[in-house]
A = this chain, B = another copy of it.
Amino acid sequence: MRYHPLTADDRALMLRSIGVDTVDDLFTDVPAGHLVEGLLDLPKGRSEISVERALSRMAGRNRAAGAGPFFVGAGAYRHHVPASVDHLIQRSEFLTSYTPYQAEISQGTLQVLFEFQTQVARLTGMEVANASMYDGSTATAEAVMMASRLTRRTRAVVSGGLHPQYRDVIDTVATGIEVAALPADPTNAEDIAAAIDDTVACVVVQTPTFYGHLVDLAPIAEAAHAAGALLVAVFTEAVALGAIEPPGALGADIAVGEGQSIGNALNFGGPYVGLFATKKKHVRQMPGRLSGETVDADGKRGYVLTLSTREQHIRRDKATSNICTNSGLCALAFTIHMTLLGEKGLSRLAHLNHARACATADALARVPGVSVLNDTFFNEFTIRVPGEAERVVERLAEWNILGGVPVSRLDPSAPGDLIVVAATEMTTEEDIAEYAEVLGGLK
Contacts and interface: CB of A to CB of B under 8 A. Distances in A.
A171 interface: no
B48 A83 contact: yes
A426 interface: yes
A199 interface: no
A49 B425 contact: yes
A48 B340 CA distance: 12
A80 interface: yes
Interface string A401-443: 0000000000000000000000001100000000000000000
A82 interface: yes
Interface string A1-26: 01000000000000000000000000
A90 interface: yes
A61 interface: no
A82 B2 CA distance: 11
A300 interface: no
A46 interface: no
A60 to B, nearest CB: 11
Contacts of A301: none
A34 interface: no
Taken together, the copies of this chain in the complex come to: 2
A44 interface: no
A109 B425 CA distance: 41
A426 B49 CA distance: 8
A91 B94 CA distance: 12
A87 interface: yes
Interface in A209-245: none
A208 B26 CA distance: 52
Interface in A82-106: 82-83, 87, 90-92
Contact of A80 (B49, B83, B340): B49
Contacts of A340: 2
A55 to B, nearest CB: 12
Contact of A87 (B49, B90, B425): B90
Interface residues of A, number: 14
Contacts of A92: 91
Interface string A91-126: 110000000000000000000000000000000000
Interface string A38-82: 000000000011001000000000000000000000000000101
Nearest to A79: B49
Contacts of A80: 48-49, 52
A233 B80 CA distance: 50
Contacts of A426: 49
A97 to B, nearest CB: 15
A2 B87 CA distance: 17
A425 B53 CA distance: 13
A115 B30 CA distance: 46
Quick one: which of A48, A92, A340, A426 has the most chain B CB within 10 A?
A48
A185 to B, nearest CB: 34
Contacts of A49: 80, 425-426
Nearest to A90: B87
Contacts of A87: 90
A342 B80 CA distance: 40
A56 to B, nearest CB: 8
A83 B340 CA distance: 27
Contact of A48 (B48, B82, B91): B82
A169 to B, nearest CB: 33
Contacts of A82: 48
10 contacts: A2-B340, A48-B80, A48-B82, A48-B83, A49-B425, A49-B426, A52-B80, A87-B90, A91-B91, A91-B92
Given A48-B82, A91-B91, 9 more contacts: A2-B340, A48-B80, A48-B83, A49-B80, A49-B425, A49-B426, A52-B80, A87-B90, A91-B92
Rank and list the top 6 A-B pairs by shortest CB-CB distance, nearest first.
Answer: A49-B80, A48-B82, A49-B425, A48-B80, A87-B90, A49-B426
